[in-house]
Amino acid sequence: MLRAFVAVAEELHFTRAAARLFIAQQALSRDIRRLEREWGRTLFHRDTRHVTLTTEGHRLLPIVRRALAAHAELKEELSDAPTPGRDRPLIVDVAVHASTGPRVLETARGIAPAVEFVARFHSGLVRAATEIADGRIDVSFGRVAGLPPAVEAGLDHQLIRCDQLAVLLPPEHRLAALSEVPLARLAGETIYAAAGNEDTTEWTDYARTLFAEYGIQLAPPFPKIEGKREFRRIIHKQGWSVLANVEFSDVPDMALRPLIDPVPLAPVSMVWRRGLRHPGLGALINAAHELGAAEGWLARPQNSWIPDRDLQVMANHRRASASPASKD
C-alpha cells in the first residue's frame, strides 16, 4: 500500500499510477482507501478530473519514501550471500541525454563482465531518485543539489564530473558564428532548460540560478518532451536555443557552442540507495574514477562558475564522506 501511495502522489492520476504498478485501477483505489482508513487521514483530493495531494499527504510523502528505502535496505541485508557471478541485476539509470552515465556503465561492464547491469533511460535525477528510494532502480547520475532534502537523505552519492555547459543555437542565430559564446552575450535571450518537466527540476533549477546572474530568460514551462525525434521537432518548431553540455548531440543540425566568461560547470554525481550492497556498485565507482582520471572530469577551469548551493553540497559531502558500502 505504501508503493500505491507514492505512485499516485507522483503521477497524480490513478490510471497512470495503476499502469506503473501493473495492477488494476480498482485495486489501486481500494488500497488508497484502506490506507486512508488505517491512518485516519485523507491523503488525496480527487474529483472526476483532478487528483491532488492533501496537506497531510504532502507531509507524509517523504516519510513514506524513507520507509520504502529502509525496507529495501533491510531486504538487501537479509538476502542470501551472493554466488559469484549470479547476483541479481543492478538497475542503472543512465539518463540517455547526458554523456556521463552511459560511458560509466559501459566501462563498468568491462570491469565486471560477470555482473548483469540493466540500463534504464530516465531524463532527470528527481524522477530517478524517487525510484531509487522505493527500490525500482539502484543507481543514477545527476545534480544532487537539486534534490529535495527528504529525498537526498536516503541516498549516498559521489561527485564524479563537472560537466562543462554549452548553448545549442539555431543555425541562423546571431551568435552561431562564434566558436564560444560568452554568457554576457546571451543577456536578454530566452533559452529552453526543461521548465515544465517535473522529472528534471534539478536541471531547471540550475539553469534558473545561472540565468538570473547573467540576465538570461528561462523559456516558459512546456510539457515533457520524450524521444530524440520529438525533441528535434519541437526545438525546431519553437525556434528555441537550448542549455546543454558540450557533448550534447541530439540536434546535429544546430550549432553547439561552449559557454565561457565564466565557464558554467554542472556537477554530476553518481547516486545510489543508502546501504546498497552489490558488486556492480564498486565496478561503477571504479569506472567513474578511471574515466575521470583519464579525461580530467573533475578539473575546474580557473574562470568557472558553479552555483553556491552545489558548492555547499560538495563541501558537506567531502567533510562527511565515507567509503561506500559494496559487496565483494
The one-digit pLDDT tens for each residue of the chain (328 residues) are: 888 898 888 888 888 888 777 688 888 899 999 999 999 999 999 887 789 999 999 889 888 887 877 776 666 666 554 444 346 899 999 976 557 999 999 999 999 999 999 998 877 888 898 889 888 899 999 999 988 887 888 889 999 999 999 999 998 999 999 999 999 999 999 999 999 998 889 999 999 999 999 999 999 999 988 888 898 999 999 999 999 999 887 787 899 999 999 999 999 999 999 888 898 999 999 999 999 999 999 999 889 999 999 998 888 766 555 444 443 3
Q: How is domain 163-264 classified at the architecture level of CATH?
A: 3-Layer(aba) Sandwich (3.40)
Which superfamily does CATH assign the domain made up of 83-162+267-320 to? Periplasmic binding protein-like II (3.40.190.10)
Where is 37: in which H helix or E strand? helix 25-39
Q: Do domains 83-162+267-320 and 163-264 have the same CATH topology?
A: yes
At the top level of CATH, which class does the domain 2-77 belong to?
mainly alpha
Ordered by start, the domain boundaries in the chain are 2-77, 83-162+267-320, 163-264
Q: How far apart are CA 235 and CA 92, in angstroms?
A: 28
Contact yes or no for 165/97 (Cβ under 8 A): no
Task: Give the dihedral sign, CA 266/268/273/274.
Answer: negative
pTM of the model as a whole: 0.72
Residue 323: predicted pLDDT = 41
Which residue bears the cell 559501459?
106
Which residues neighbour 307 within 8 Å (Cβ) at sequence distance 6 or greater? 145, 206, 209, 210
Q: How far is CA 326 from CA 76, 77, 107, 135, 281, in A?
A: 11, 11, 18, 17, 6
Residue 184: predicted pLDDT = 96
